Structure 1
């Protein structure tokens, strides 16, 4: 069986293999465990993150296997027994995976993925699972952050050359709401609209700016968008674009579709460009701006009244500098047919996890359809539907009793007993779903600067379990304070 070109199970942290050998030696290979994947802090100091990567999780899990070359390499390390290597030869995932759907707004300290599987299987998928989710959520969140500031202005994703992961960046940008991409491959593979006109090189190659514009207009008269900032935007670029429209496009029954400005003071230049185009009778010509635009820059352009019709974005959608930090923690082990809940405790309270095999629910106001918060509950709890008290998992004294609400289980089962049972939505369906889900958040949660906190709440039973497990952990040798007793 050939390797999947995108995912290789050998691209796994080595300790996953050494732990697995130890579990195998102890006769634990069939022990069922539960893991939660979650992040602690929302990137970009943002009010929310956007779930993404479910498609890649499916592809990865469906294609997991070890080749003869993989086994030979592991054997050469002299760290693994032949029975264990024989086990790996026949390795496949046989567990369950529950995942929050792509396009859902998600928040810190809630399980975006839950894995139930034999312990070695659960361990060996960890590295790739986290790599997939960390990368995709980063791109989707960065894109949505910029797109929210653009508002109704269409944003074209121009990031293929900016990103070290252009396929993920483009896919996540479209999920978040971009109107199209410069990435031709994703147009072919996913049906994302492909966009693009000309670069500065076409202008500098020609005898003159006018000649370059005329050549492009003759080639694509029905959609002539000209890049006007190669030399001097206001004194050369826009006048030449107008002249080509008058000399060739209009006489042949076409109009100048638009111009693109890629440098300078975009607000001032766009205002002057609009005036010049309007005075030339080209009120229908559109103005596109680009040049490393950030969400903050877009907000400022709109505040300054810049007459912008579309935006080209690259770096800040496709090469974001923030990281998400999805982690993967054991929360339960099956012993004698019963789930034994587990917790990971830390000196840093922020790193003490929410324990146990649990579900994550979103609570919506029936009257407004706005999300009131997310609730973590033990897997076998049934939430009341007439009255419910939200309890902040970070501060149990912060409570709120609600009525007239509806409850939604956020996770969906993707794999059951190793079989894919989920019908994955199309890109267009994911995109529309993301748009709908974003509308359920209050504006205060979506604002760019200092967004309001979105609360992650816990049930009384979950919080009681957490207290009990923390106390029990001290009896196992955990001691927070340093010094004499």
Structure 2
């Protein structure tokens, strides 16, 4: 399937019309999240690297034009103006791993209008899903309070590409490993895994299963102990570990029941068997809320495996994001639709200490003591620098997380910071609104 034709039809029809009307002037589009999902105090910018990859290789070929013509039931010649179109514009963006808030552009594209329009769907697809998943995973990191987390999401994500993204994003925010073999190889993430209940059931007894597994995998092993009776499973695991002389770094995994209570009973039994070194890993429908509850109750858990709810960002699986025209041919543009008003002009986010942000115009001087968040990442359709390593994105995330106000870090009832608007942006918004309302014959609204 072509990346070019994996788009919404209206991108194609608009771009074709722009070409027919010779509307090829430079256009700036801003991609931003209108409002944070409920229960979120922040977002983690993600998806930029694959988005830049997509833009770098974007080119409309003959086969793409034929596909467009087929779905529109029109002659191929009608769609011919699109052939050969590639992306040679500029991109400024928030680097992956930075913490962002509602109303702040994650990315701004400046390119000839048909190009900037055609890439809208791809950019929204790539940035929105990945930012949602990275933000969910980041909240799990906060909830775990320093305990390791492992990504177990692949089997429940919405397709293999989403599974690869989830593993990468979990690693970006600091997860210790992933069960996804392909992602482990591609991104250099430690691979982690244990066994399924079906493995235990296939043997004549639980003990036989544990011993067989240890024979095949003599390095640190993790035994799944809750297939039949958890207390018996823990005792059997301890006995097998002792009999085989398997040393530190071995673990048991609990996947069902009241995980806190089961972990306490397991810890007591392991310690009594002289296996204080055996770690306890828990899994089973966990996300930041479940992890935080277990940490609060002081459950003796060494690591958490999280999957379904994190890989799908289950409680907030989408972002209320938009990709809006803010300038065309040097004219600032804005939208006045009720509840969907946008601010005009190319923008910048100026960040001060404590993640206090000001959204201003891209060409204004940064307020004292602030840094600009959006950086040039593409010029003339080419990257300005090599792809950033996951470790670099993780370092950005960790620095921003350390500075994030405590009320935004809370798992339950977070309060998100609200960026301010600069005086110049506020003034331009008023001017453009007045111009558009006069053009439309709309009565001017009173101030405030």
**How far off its partner does 1:472 sit?**
2.5
CA distance in 2 between counterparts of 1:111 and 1:63 reads 23
Deviation at 1:455, TM superposition (A): 2.2
Shift of 1:78: 4.9
Instruction: Give the corresponding residue for 2:185.
Output: 188
- Residue by residue over 1:172-205, the C-alpha shift from the partner in whole angstroms, topping out at 9 and shown as x without a partner, is 1111111010000011111111011211111000
Is the aligned partner of 1:319 residue 2:312?
yes
Shift of 1:256: 7.1
Superposed, 1:61-76 pairs within 5 Å as: 61-76=55-70
Task: Please tell me whether the aligned partners of residues 35 and 116 of structure 1 are also in contact (alpha carbons under 8 angstroms).
Answer: yes
**Cα drift, residue 280 of structure 1:** 0.8
Counterpart position of 1:402? none
**Quick one: which of 414, 421, 432 aligns to 2:395?**
432
Q: How does 1:208-247 map to 2 (within 5 A)?
A: 208-234=205-231, 236-247=232-243
The TM-score normalised by the length of structure 2 is: 0.94
1:116, distance to aligned residue in structure 2 (A): 0.5
8 Å contact from structure 1 (residues 199, 227) kept in 2: yes
Deviation sequence 1:105-147 (CA, Å, 0-9, x none): 0111111100100000000000111000111111101111112
What corresponds to 2:142 in structure 1?
148
Per-residue CA deviation, residues 291-321 of structure 1 (Å, 9 max, x unaligned), is 0112111111112110000011001210223
Aligned counterparts of 1:383 and 1:414: Cα–Cα separation in 2: 19
Unaligned runs of 5+ in 1: 365-369, 386-405
Q: Determine if contact 1:245/1:255 at 8 Å carries over to the other structure.
A: no
- Alignment check: 8 A CA contact 1:360 1:410 kept: yes
- Residues 468, 128 of structure 1: alpha-carbon distance in 2 compared, 3 angstrom cutoff: same
- Structure number with the bigger relative contact order (C-alpha 8 A, sep ≥ 6) is 2
Partner secondary structure for residue 439 of structure 1: helix
The Cα offsets for residues 380-410 of structure 1, whole Å up to 9 and x where unpaired, read as 211342xxxxxxxxxxxxxxxxxxxx21110
Distance 2:116 2:242 in 1: 66
TM-superposed deviation, 1:99: 0.9
Identify unmatched segments of 5+ residues in structure 2: none
Q: Structure 1 CA distance, aligned partners of 2:443 and 2:415?
A: 32
Partner of 1:25 in structure 2?
Answer: 20
Query: Match of 1:288?
Result: 281
Aligned mate of 2:295, from 290, 293, 302: 302
1:380-419 correspondence to structure 2 within 5 Å: 380-385=363-368, 406-419=369-382
Q: Is the 8 A contact 1:166 1:318 kept in 2?
A: yes
Report the CA distance between 1:475 and its aligned residue: 1.9
In structure 2, the CA distance between the partners of 1:434 and 1:269, relative to structure 1 (3 Å rule), is same
| Residues in 1 aligned to 2:434 and 2:326: alpha-carbon distance in whole angstroms | 16
Render the CA deviation track for 1:340-395: whole Å, top value 9, x for unaligned. Answer: 111111222xx21122122111112xxxxx32x1111222211342xxxxxxxxxx
Question: 1:377 aligns to what?
Answer: 360
From 333, 346, 351, the counterpart of 1:357: 346
Instruction: Please say if residues 16 and 79 of structure 2, whose CA atoms lie closer than 8 Å, have aligned partners that are also in contact.
Output: no
SS state at 1:112 partner:
strand
Q: Is 2:274 the counterpart of 1:278?
A: no
Partner of 1:10: 5
User: Over residues 221-249 of structure 1, what are the superposed CA-to-partner deviations in whole Å (9 max), with x where a residue is unaligned?
Assistant: 33021100000101x21111111123222
The residue that corresponds to 1:139 in the other structure is: 133
Structure 2 contact 200–206 (Cα < 8 Å) conserved: yes
1:31-84 per-residue CA deviation (whole Å, 9 max, x = no partner) reads 1111100011112421100000011111101111223222223334355783x6
Alignment root-mean-square deviation, CA: 1.8
Matches of 1:267 and 1:69, distance apart in 2: 57
Q: Is the 8 A contact 1:222 1:255 kept in 2?
A: no
Match of 1:394 in 2: none
- 1:175 counterpart residue number: 172
Matching of residue 260 in structure 1 with residue 249 in structure 2: no
**Alignment: residue pair count:** 438
Given that 2:44 and 2:134 are in contact with CA atoms closer than 8 Å, whether structure 1 keeps it comes out as yes
Distance 1:56 1:298 in 2: 30
1:441 match = 404
Report the Cα offset of residue 20 of structure 1.
1.6
